[in-house]
Amino acid sequence: MNKIWLAAIGVVLLVGVVFLAGCGSNGISGTLELKGNMYGQQDGIWVSGTGKVYAIPDIAQITLGVEAQAATVAEAQAKATSAMNDVVAALKASGVEDKDIQTQYYSIYEVTKWDDYKNESVVTAYRVTNTIAVTVRDVESTGAVIDAVVVAGGDYTRINGINFTVEDPNIYYAQAREKAVTYAKTKAEQMASLAGVELGKVSYITESNYMPSSNYYNGRVEAAAPAIDTTSISAGQLEITTTVTMAYSIAD
């Protein structure tokens, strides 16, 4: 009498294992079917391509502000407020609009030192810091804007950094994407040819973008004097990169 046993075993990454065995006069016979991939790899041909373009910055983003210190909070705040009002007025006179001036940081804190006689920390002054982010849409005027701020804020002026970017990077991403897809497609065609298979349709595609900032300066202006020459600012260029990952099926 023949007996038929049917067992289905599910194991991670081994999907649908069916074992069919029969016992009879002809001995044991059966089939083994594996679906999926033991190592988690995907079917088809997977490739990646990177496209790179360069752009001239059309926006300068400056982080600047004022810092004042005095014996009392009220005095320090009054000095900082007056200096910041002068700085903002200078920015507007330089063509910077209200929408392009944004407060980033404001603090009032104690300045202390250690008193060995009292064996404790004592307050010696109060410091007020007011920092704003400024967008300059005329990159060529960046140096003149900085000079105007330094003159207006005097010794209270602080310049924390400058970053250059482009207002609308989409056109550059489109160009970089075209290069990336073209390169990935060419790579897939070559791989298929070398492997002796026929390239099928695209079954998967994704991308990632990257546009590094162009930093010019990161520091502080501790003192200010009327500028004789305009501060020289070089925006340079930005490298905009797009990387695509594509999967092609292998045609039967």
Residue finishing a domain among 141, 167, 193: 167
245: β partners: 48, 206
pLDDT of residue 214 exceeding 80: no
Q: Within this chain, do residues 91 and 139 fall inside the same structural domain, yes or no?
A: yes
pLDDT digits (tens, 9 = 90+) for 137-151: 999 999 999 999 999
Question: Model pTM?
Answer: 0.69
Q: Within this chain, do residues 140 and 89 fall inside the same structural domain, yes or no?
A: yes
Q: Within this chain, do residues 77 and 20 fall inside the same structural domain, yes or no?
A: no
Residue finishing a domain among 167, 182, 198: 167
pLDDT digits (tens, 9 = 90+) for 234-249: 899 999 999 999 999 9
CA distances to 8, 36, 167 from 12, rounded to whole Å, are: 13, 10, 48
Provide mean pLDDT across the span 90-103: 97
Q: How many domains does the chain have?
A: 2
Q: Give pLDDT, residue 70.
A: 97
Q: Give pLDDT, residue 178.
A: 97
Cβ neighbours of 36 (radius 10 Å): 13
pLDDT digits (tens, 9 = 90+) for 45-93: 999 999 999 999 999 999 999 999 999 999 999 999 999 999 999 999 9
Q: Within this chain, do residues 136 and 83 fall inside the same structural domain, yes or no?
A: yes
191 with 47: CB under 8 angstroms? yes
Instruction: Report percent pLDDT > 90 for the chain.
Output: 66
Residue finishing a domain among 117, 147, 167: 167
Q: Which domain holds residue 142?
A: 57-167
Q: Within this chain, do residues 93 and 162 fall inside the same structural domain, yes or no?
A: yes
Provide mean pLDDT across the span 151-180: 95
How is the beta sheet containing 59-70 ordered, strand by strand?
A: 101-115, 120-136, 59-70, 157-165, 214-217
Q: Which CATH number is 85's domain given?
A: 3.30.70.2970
Give every CB contact of residue 215 below 8 A, 6+ residues apart in sequence.
Answer: 161, 162, 163, 164
pLDDT of residue 221 exceeding 70: no
Residue 14 in any domain: the answer is yes
Residue 129 in any domain: the answer is yes
Tokens at 202, concatenated: 């695209």
Q: Give pLDDT, residue 116.
A: 82
